[in-house]
Structure 1
Amino acid sequence: MTAGPLSRFTVLDLTRVRAGPTAVRYLADWGANCIKVEMPPGAGDMDMGGPRHGPDFQNLHRNKKSITLNLKEPDGLAVFKKLVEKADVVVENYRADVKFRLGIDYESLKKVNPRIVLGSISGFGQDGPYAERAGFDQIAQGMGGLMWVTGMEGQGPVRAGIAVADVGAGLHCAIGILIALLERETSGQGQWVSSSLLQAMISMCDFQAARWTIAKDVPGQAGNNHPTSIPTGVFKTKDGYINIAASGGHIYKRFCESINAPELMTDEKFSSDKARRANRDLLNAEIEKRVGAYGSAELVEKLNKAGVPAGPIYKMDEMFADPQVKHLKMAHPVNSPKLGPIELIGQAINMSRTPFEMRTATPEQGEHTEAVLKEAGYDAAAIASFKQRGVI
């Protein structure tokens, strides 16, 4: 194993649930010394990330160390600030006001270490009328516009099948932290980086959101049809369903030729982009009549050879069995002392010299407390006293 491109950075991880741990995972996977700070046993659940040895928790907290520390105790806070002295980044996703009550807000941390970067994730932002509301992925999906454009037309709002707001906020926060660390190289100063589930969700709505801000168009549900590229959607084959993206004049022509349907090019109802948009449902029905004669794998292969984007629609087990997914190594092996050999989800970033590494499985609660405190200068007597008093 190599040191990793971020190995010179120490990150104190105060995060819980998903959005915050996702941000820290990016840093940990590229070698940052990430120290997950958890409440001592019996002092209160500060993580709420599901069972420790379940798939979710294990996937979120790999490549980290774990210490227990009660920040509500004065000595616990003092220990944390001592760790901040030599740290580079602190990441938290409490409600916006909690960090101030605990005394770990940016201004407080800056007094301890002017170079510290604080990454914060909240539900709705660090200030404003909703700042103190608790954030939850599905709430952000609804308020951020995603649920109104997801699902079949007239079905009513539908949530996405993944925690897109949580993961998006974590990704945005990680990017912000890396920008702050780069900027620190010239200024010598840290700064406060924040994102929120709501902001991430709106940002990720991207062209759908821009349809309103620029054209004052309110997008609705389009089901499995792409809202603007036609024909693009899900089509039933002889033995299942596939996605086909055949919009644009040249690709549409190749598509019609591939399925031996020249009439779909010459028919006035389908002969132009404008006509295909006006008659989308009719066109989809005509396409489905023809693709129903093919098996899914056969048609996907045939269309791709013709330069028409198409692909299968997988369940999770089918996805991980796909040869391209295997080639991309999206399931990474790691050995867990508790669970044995397991596979965790890889990163979606490829780097030619400094790839991410799956170095260690998720640690046990407080596994590294003594080692980290000794590195910070605490002797055995002090550590024993902390244990006795419930500080660690």
Structure 2
Amino acid sequence: MPRAGSAEVLLMTNPPTPPAASEGALAGLKVLDLSRVLAGPYCAQMLADHGADVIKVEPPAGDETRGWGPPFVAPDTSAYYQNLNRAKRNIVVDLSVPEGRDILDTLLGDTDVLVENFNAGTLAKWGYADEELRRRFPALIHCRVTGFGTDGPLGGQPGYDAVLQAYGGLMSVNGEPDGPPLRVGVPVVDQVTGILAFSGILLALHERHRSGLGQLVDCTLLDTAVSLLHPHSASWLASGIVPRRTGSAHPSIAPYDSFTAADGPLFIAVGNDRQFGALTEVLAVPGLADDPRFRTNQDRVRHQRELRAALEEAIAERPRADLAAQLTARGVPASPVHDVAEALTSPQVRHRGLVIDTGDYRGLASPVSLSRTPARVRPEVRGAGADTRDVLDAAGYDGEAVAKAVEDGAVRAADPS
């Protein structure tokens, strides 16, 4: 795999030898993670889980999510930060000073992927404009994460997840019909942006095998938010009717909603007429399937209110776990509405190995599962500057040079143990 600092760009006609299964699919890949908060760090953590050597470069003030708590797992480390920054080496470099940028130049010389989410213009101000990066490091894959992009009417404007949920239309379709718009309860725009950044990097790496050249992977929270609007975007583009909030119900499928069972909420998702017939049989209301108001999905959507009233009465006295089991046995998707604790301790989540608990570390596993080169979660989360000395030593800095960089404030390094 060509390195970013190669003076000569090579056309690769043969793919490299694949790594051993124990190394991970991305073994040998070097990543500099200059990002903070969520989308960028999540992308870089996925790369690390699959074997990449990820070096997180924090500013002297640190990644602000270190203080996003409680809960905290260490005095300077929140659970929020811990679950986005495992398996990364950590160095602290002040890129606002020339000495810090000299260190970044050295590190970029053998880096494959740069992940960053600086405000628009920051890298250019420091001498790392897009065209300059491409000229100096032709094989570098530069993944940039921003809120709205770097140009256009809102180019360069910062954006957090909830702001983009609002701007991108997601809030407008989330919530009860007679209630206010609500943000989705997880930072879905940030997380999906991280996944799309991960995917874009893999696309760029694949293309680099042919051309030997890197490229810019340009990810914005706005692009992600708008991409998540389906099916509401498709509905508006086809009809011109502005979608409204429907609570847990689906705007074009029925019944597809949450109901109250005897011991809590239950979600039922009926996608076709066969499933609806099975639902009515399990609920012992077979006449509903022959009711002209409910024979087809179109009929059921037109008469959702009447259908819901008929189903609620049949569901209200049934235990939700038993009813969900009976429905799924008949091919009708259904589940109790779990809280977070119920979800993370559920039998299938345990079976899938989605929760990691080493005693010292508790977090979620990589959501990307490969059969031959599976993700290998390395749960350690390094303190700020814990690896500065080792990383600079490997980059060719001797002890005197590192000491001077520390003294000048260009880097911060943990005391040698």
Question: TM-score with structure 1 length normalisation?
Answer: 0.95
The one of 192, 206, 209 aligned to 1:182: 206
Superposition deviation, residue 108 in structure 1: 2.4
Are 2:86 and 1:62 equivalent residues in the alignment?
A: yes
Superposition deviation, residue 267 in structure 1: 2.2
In the TM superposition, 1:177-216 aligns within 5 A as: 177-216=201-240
Percent identical among aligned pairs is 34
Are 2:388 and 1:369 equivalent residues in the alignment?
A: yes
Are 2:368 and 1:349 equivalent residues in the alignment?
A: yes
In the TM superposition, 1:1-392 aligns within 5 A as: 2-40=22-60, 45-51=61-67, 52-334=76-358, 341-392=360-411
2:362 alignment partner AA: E
2:312 alignment partner AA: E
**In 1, Cα distance between the equivalents of 2:234 and 2:199?**
22
1:189 alignment partner AA: L
Superposition deviation, residue 238 in structure 1: 0.9
**In 2, Cα distance between the equivalents of 1:117 and 1:218?**
39
Superposition deviation, residue 276 in structure 1: 1.2
Superposition deviation, residue 184 in structure 1: 0.7
Q: Deviations over 1:261-286 (max 9, x none)?
A: 01211222223323211110111111
Superposition deviation, residue 46 in structure 1: 4.8
Per the alignment, residue 337 of structure 1 pairs with: none
Aligned length: 383
User: Which stretches in structure 2 are left out of the alignment for 5+ residues?
Assistant: 1-20, 68-75, 412-417
1:261 alignment partner AA: V
Superposition deviation, residue 117 in structure 1: 0.7
Greater CA drift, 92-101 or 54-63: 92-101
Superposition deviation, residue 217 in structure 1: 3.3
User: Does the CA-based 8 Å contact 2:139-2:208 persist in structure 1?
Assistant: yes
Superposition deviation, residue 107 in structure 1: 2.2
**In 2, Cα distance between the equivalents of 1:329 and 1:103?**
44
**In 1, Cα distance between the equivalents of 2:317 and 2:190?**
41
**In 1, Cα distance between the equivalents of 2:282 and 2:349?**
26
Q: Alignment partner of 2:64: what SS?
A: coil
**In 2, Cα distance between the equivalents of 1:67 and 1:110?**
24
Q: Deviations over 1:112-164 (max 9, x none)?
A: 32100110010001211111211111110011111011011131211100001
Per the alignment, residue 414 of structure 2 pairs with: none
Question: TM-score with structure 2 length normalisation?
Answer: 0.89
Superposition deviation, residue 348 in structure 1: 1.7
* Cα RMSD after superposing both structures: 1.4
**In 2, Cα distance between the equivalents of 1:371 and 1:306?**
59
Greater CA drift, 25-34 or 47-56: 47-56
Greater CA drift, 264-273 or 224-233: 264-273
1:34 alignment partner AA: V
User: Does the CA-based 8 Å contact 1:17-1:48 persist in structure 2?
Assistant: yes
User: Which stretches in structure 1 are left out of the alignment for 5+ residues?
Assistant: 335-339
Superposition deviation, residue 215 in structure 1: 3.3
Greater CA drift, 358-367 or 63-72: 358-367
User: Does the CA-based 8 Å contact 1:240-1:296 persist in structure 2?
Assistant: yes
**In 1, Cα distance between the equivalents of 2:276 and 2:245?**
24
